[in-house]
Amino acid sequence: MSNVSNPRDPQLTPLAVISEGATPVPPEHECMTACEVASWMRVNRKTVYEYAARNVIPCRRLGRRLVFSRAAVVAWLSRSSTTDAPPARR
């Protein structure tokens, strides 16, 4: 038996790991980066940037960075529907 703990064990790590290679998002952080939003929503990072550029998803600029409020994104998700989404690219 090994003395090394499993980093994927949810009892050992407070971070929410969404998928392999995803950026972990601590549950207590109110502000998230585009990469964290993408991991949290399970979409491509480029999709988050596209939606931000089109003012579809709520965000703020902090210098050159985009910052997303978790509460604002949750509110946006709860009030949006599939008919509000921009058409998919082909």
In a domain, 75, yes or no: yes
CA distance 68 to 32: 5
CA distance 52 to 35: 12
Instruction: Determine the average pLDDT of the residues in 18-44.
Output: 79
In a domain, 47, yes or no: yes
In a domain, 52, yes or no: yes
In a domain, 46, yes or no: yes
Burial tier of 50 (Cβ tally within 10 Å: 0-12, 13-18, 19+): middle
Please identify which residue in the block is written with the tokens 């998919």.
88
DSSP secondary structure code for residue 41 in this structure: H
Cα radius of gyration (the chain): 16
- pLDDT greater at residue 79 or residue 89: 79
Two tokens at 86?
A: 């921009």
In a domain, 28, yes or no: no
In a domain, 23, yes or no: no
What confidence tier does 29 reach under pLDDT thresholds 50, 70, 90? confident
Write out the residue range of the structural domain in which residue 54 sits: 33-79
Is pLDDT at 26 greater than 70 in this prediction? no
Number of independent structural domains in the chain: 1
44-78 pLDDT, tens digit each: 999 999 999 999 999 999 999 999 999 999 999 99
What confidence tier does 6 reach under pLDDT thresholds 50, 70, 90? low
pLDDT at 16: 46
In a domain, 15, yes or no: no
In a domain, 11, yes or no: no
pLDDT at 82: 57
Of 52, 51, 17, residue with least CA distance to 36: 17
CA distance 71 to 18: 19
